[in-house]
Amino acid sequence: MARNKSSFHMGDEFNGSGKKTYLKATQHNTYVPLSQDNIKLTPDFRKCIPKAIGAMPITSGSAMENLGLAIRAVGSFPVIERIIVKKDTETNQYQTSFHIRKKNLTTGSYLYSKKGSHFQNEKTLEQITVKPQKMEFKGKSFLVAVEKEIPYIYSTLEYDPNAENNYPEWTGDFNSQMDLTFGIGHSIKTQEEFDYFKQKIDKFRDNEKTMTFLVNYTFNKDIKGFVDSVNDFCFPTTDSQQENIEDQYIYLTQNQFDAIVILLYNCGFNLKGSKLGNELESQKGKKNPEFNEENIKEGFRYTVYNESRSEGLTTRRNNELNLFFNNDYNYYDSKELVIQQGIGYIDYP
């Protein structure tokens, strides 16, 4: 046992001896959990590490001192010198190999080591297929330019381009006909949801940090579904043993991916069977797809509101097409600016 110990006591005071002390937090508040959307998953190779009878695996470098003594001390834990992971670029499979010290098993489950480095070379344990990495959404700044970042409930139907505040705060009751919205384009569909946001706004209106967090938390939840939808469409789940699996993938650049996610965020249609989806699928398996411009434009042509062409929606679609074709994340927010930039892919009404 070490001389200096550290202890922990669930009280409201400093506690401990030795080199570390601990303090229990005394501040009480309510926090929304942080988003887990952007956590990256990496291939799990743990099952590729050999396991002795009745033991869990342990790894160590070859320079470990008193190796034989250490192995006897931990019983049947094998010591692996080196793990090698190789990728076959043709089959997209990972092959795991390892270098392991030579050991003798007793009739039980304990391992004993001989001195020196005796290797069992390049034994293949198994092959695993790793799914393609999903694409991340990087077009938030574009969406904020379009939808704004408004920390209260408002109606898009009350938009006034000439007013100092283009989107006045909604002060009435829930009304499903008024396209009530919060934050970065979050559409409020139910009375329950309306009550939730109204309660939060009334409570934290003067707390800018909390309101900013609520806006971003809501946006991250909303956008995740559309990001997943485009990823699932472009990288469909298939049998892990299927040959030429990459022939089923639709390869997009970052700006093309973002433009499609932004379109879906506003329109909410299913890519499968749509005009846009059909054009994307026509380029399956091509690392450098050559999309037909007219078909892409037709796939983005969602410009009708209340049975008539909308100038505002036409401006938005032209900006999304500009992002898709030209990798331009700027937003030109008027008919005049769109025409001036030469990005009028869809004619105005």
- The residues that bridge with 347 in the sheet, in sequence order, are none
Q: What are phi and psi of 150, to 5 degrees?
A: -105, 120
pLDDT of residue 248: 87
Residue 41 included in any domain: no
- Answering whether pTM is above 0.85, one says no
The pLDDT of residue 97 is 60
Q: Comparing C-alpha atoms, which of 299, 236, 297 is closest to residue 271?
A: 299
Residue 305, domain member (yes or no): no
Alpha carbons 68 and 111: distance in angstroms, whole number: 10
Selection from 52, 78, 59, 65 nearest residue 115 by Cα? 65
The answer to whether residue 299 sits within a structural domain is: no
Domain count, the chain: 1
280: closest CA among 261, 267, 307, 302?
A: 261
End-to-end CA distance of the chain: 81
The pLDDT, as a whole number, for residue 88 is 66
Give domain status of residue 309, yes or no: no
Sign of CA dihedral 151, 157, 158, 162: positive
pLDDT along the chain (349 residues), means of 10: 46 45 48 55 51 42 45 46 64 60 43 39 41 84 96 95 92 96 97 97 96 97 97 79 75 97 96 97 94 98 92 97 97 97 96
Residue 92 domain boundaries: 46-129
- Per-residue model confidence (pLDDT) at position 177: 94
Asked if residue 201 belongs to a domain, the reply is no
Q: Is residue 7 part of a domain?
A: no
* 8 A C-beta contact, residue 346 and residue 318: yes
Q: Which two tokens stand for residue 296?
A: 């892409």
Say if 82 falls within a structural domain.
Answer: yes
How far is residue 322 from each of residues 154, 300, 342, measured CA to CA in Å? 29, 11, 9
What's the distance, CA 49 to chain centroid?
A: 29
In a domain, 95, yes or no: yes
Length of the chain (residues): 349
State the Cα–Cα distance between residues 94 and 129, nearest whole angstrom: 6
User: In the numeric block, which tokens belong to residue 35?
Assistant: 């988003």
Residue 200 identity: K
